[in-house]
A and B are shown apart, each in its own frame.
Chain A
Amino acid sequence: MTIRGRAHKVGDHIDTDLVIAGRYLVTTDPAKLAEHLFEDLDPDLRKRIRPGDVVVAGENFGQGSSREHAPLALVGAGVQAVVAASFARIFYRNAFNNGLLLLECPEASRGIQDGDEVEVDPETGKIHNLTRGERYQAKPLPPFMRELIQVGGIIPYVRRRLGLEAS
């Protein structure tokens, strides 16, 4: 299924405190967390994000705290994918474990501007910038990450491994 939405551009080294501030970590409800998404980065950004949109970031997106509330806040706001030049490692695992698609693509990170209409194919990693008529190719997902996505994240993966779910 292709993802199509508006791009919201953020910078390099966006930490998980900026995604969701520490003071809001007293719930695990994605909808409640989403109310405060990116609040300390730009208090108005949350209002501009519509379900189906895509976040486009620079280097090292998701650095810092291991809080899984960060991908949950993005999922709660309806963000379909994050495209970045690179990702911090704990955030990378947490996002896939929660079914949030991450695509590593420095060209898209540079080429896509705030507000551009973009189309992302999760299967092939092809990114189409409809506003600018540009096409980018994200790095292919490692086979294990593809397997994780196919089964729906780490929890169904573990259930299968334990024989609690048919594979």
Chain B
Amino acid sequence: MGMTITEKILAAHADLPRVEPGDLVECRVDMLFANDITAPLAIQQFERIGVEGVFDPDRVAFVLDHYVPSKDIAAAEQCRITREFVGKHGLPHFYDVGRAGIAHVLLAEEGFVAPGELFVGADSHTCNHGALGAFATGVGSSDLAAAMATGRLWFRVPHTLRFVFRGTLPRWVTGKDLVLRVIGDIGVDGARYAAMEFAGPVLQQLSMDERFSITNMAVEAGAKNGIMEPDDVVLGWVRPRARRPFQPVYGDPDASYAAVYEYDVTDMEPVVSAPSSPGNAVPVREVAGVRVDQCFIGTCTNGRIEDLRQAARVLAGRKVHPDVRLLVIPATPRIYRQALEEGLIQVFLDAGAAVSTSTCGPCIGGHMGVLADGEVCVSTSSRNFIGRMGHRGSKVYLSNAAVAAAAAVAGRLVHPDDVVREPVAV
């Protein structure tokens, strides 16, 4: 019996000829990172271990992205702990305000993850990087501290669920819609402890940006990792970026899957996850008409250039509804600059959107767009849990960038076709 791509990567990093689901293995870690929320706790635990320094300074990154630029004194103190640690140990891969972006987007962009590698981060959306054909998973600060000290971490080998997408993607249906649909079908614990492997000809129609939105949300179904086999699109994207030589890994033809789910995407429409679970996925027209107060386009799930282009396609020549605030947060400075050069930022400002520097801010109800009691937000983020973006009485609908932009124009949830079809006011 062959192995899946996930099993092969874990076996290679444990120096074992083969592994099976359920095996407990200790693996070498190729790269790891923490953010401004998780790093202070990881540093505290690392210092308890009592080693001189990190196992390899070149394989450790710190990215300040959640509450930056610091929202208050307490947040500023957390950032200082990380800055001081980085200074003390002379760590080369540190990203601070102005050069930092949302870690998952930034670290992929900067070439820190490549096919076949094993990547851990003290942030649950680290599963994002599986779109590159890497094993990437989120851990807590203590596990990260252990990996910082030893370069190794234990894992239980997950069973693999395979999701195969066929057909032709309709207009406005994106990678985000595919993953929301899957989570709606299998539930928020449908892939608990599992690897989610995404495959099928539809992936060929998706840019890297859209692929990342899929693997990014694997954790929302309870998965350990999301992964895709690295095709020519991946290799073309990663080759000019990768900082180290890498060896792509592919699953065996006779690999064993715990379950296989087949989708024909041809008749899909954009999907929205209604409050207060990513699993409440419905076609957008089922919730059309819901009045909205705020729309948010950004985050590690959908703050990439392709998302901004989709939003601009809806917003060009239109205005944000007078009762709605639209926030646009490019995920990294590079994406911000590209959006500027492509004229997208102009489109957003002309429409009446607020465009901000890169931060996770609104997604965790931290700053830059916290919701009041009873307010409704359409967000391109990944979580709509109770209180996630503000008051526990606020409500969040998860969507792709075009749906969020369309809701901002209409003042209510709509299919993007219902906005873009209308003639543009001159």
Contact = CB atoms under 8 A, between A and B. Distances in A.
Most buried by A among B74, B156, B392: B392
A90 B188 contact: no
Most buried by B among A23, A68, A88: A68
Interface in A1-53: 13, 15, 17-18, 21-23, 25-28, 39-41
Interface stretch (B42-50, B90-98, B351-359): B42-50
B241 interface: no
B381 to A, nearest CB: 12
Given A40-B392, A97-B142, A155-B145, A17 B49 contact: no
Contacts of A21: 365, 387
Given A66-B124, A66-B138, A161 B365 contact: no
Nearest to A72: B41
Contacts of B146: 154-155, 157-158
A97 B143 contact: yes
B123 A17 contact: no
B136 interface: no
B41 A68 contact: yes
B167 to A, nearest CB: 30
B388 A162 contact: no
B189 A13 contact: yes
Contact of A63 (B49, B143, B150, B222): B222
B198 interface: no
A93 B143 contact: yes
A66 B48 CA distance: 21
A22 B389 CA distance: 9
Interface string A102-123: 0000000000000000000000
Contacts of B24: 142, 144
Most buried by A among B24, B142, B154, B366: B142
Contacts of B51: 162, 164
Contacts of B138: 66, 90
Interface in B42-69: 44-45, 48-51, 66-67
A69 interface: yes
A63 B189 contact: yes
B73 to A, nearest CB: 9
Contact of B140 (A27, A59, A66): A66
Contacts of A142: 24, 156
A158 B49 contact: yes
Contact of A22 (B74, B77, B364): B364
A6 B51 CA distance: 41
B222 A162 contact: no
Contacts of B41: 28, 68-69, 72
B192 A60 contact: yes
Given A98-B142, A162-B49, A17 B386 contact: yes
Interface in B118-146: 122-124, 138-143, 145-146
Given A27-B74, A28-B44, A94-B140, A88 B192 contact: yes
B208 interface: no
A68 B38 contact: yes
6 contacts: A28-B41, A63-B222, A66-B139, A89-B224, A93-B139, A158-B149
User: Nearest 10 CB-CB pairs, A to B?
Assistant: A40-B387, A22-B364, A26-B74, A94-B140, A97-B142, A60-B189, A68-B140, A66-B124, A40-B392, A66-B138
Interface of A: 13, 15, 17-18, 21-23, 25-28, 39-41, 59-60, 63-69, 72, 86, 88-90, 93-94, 97-98, 142, 144, 153-155, 157-159, 161-162, 164
Interface of B: 24, 37-38, 40-41, 44-45, 48-51, 66-67, 72, 74-75, 77-78, 122-124, 138-143, 145-146, 149-150, 154, 156, 188-189, 192-193, 219-220, 222, 224, 277, 364-366, 370, 383, 385-388, 392
